[in-house]
Amino acid sequence: MEIELRFYATLVKYAEKNKIPQFSTVELEEGLTLASFLEKFGILREHVRIAMVNGKRAELDQVLRDGDRVGLFPPVGGG
């Protein structure tokens, strides 16, 4: 299946680590959940504050489908 990925802010380091562009399309095996997707790409769960699938907030047990658009956002800090 083909998934469109979007890494934002500090999560761009994971795209670079996996040698893929910040905004890219990747081929993945069927049946991956969002949690297994994070594991596959070596993304620590605590580094992801919000995960979006097709523009809607997603839980880690959501199964990804062909054509999904996944956006990952880190926690935001500041002061």
3-state secondary structure of 67: coil
Any domain includes 31: yes
Query: How far is CA 15 from each of CA 2, 38, 41, 73, 77, rounded to the nearest angstrom?
Result: 16, 11, 8, 13, 21
For residue 78, pLDDT over 60 is answered with no
CATH no. for residue 48? 3.10.20.30
Any domain includes 34: yes
Predicted pLDDT of residue 77: 64
Any domain includes 57: yes
Query: Average pLDDT for residues 34-40, to the nearest whole number?
Result: 93
Any domain includes 33: yes
pTM (2 d.p.):
0.86
Q: Which domain holds residue 8?
A: 2-73
Per-residue pLDDT reduced to its tens digit, 38-62 = 999 999 999 999 999 999 999 999 9
Any domain includes 9: yes
Tally of domains in the chain? 1
Any domain includes 52: yes
Any domain includes 79: no
Predicted pLDDT of residue 76: 80
Predicted pLDDT of residue 72: 95
Any domain includes 35: yes
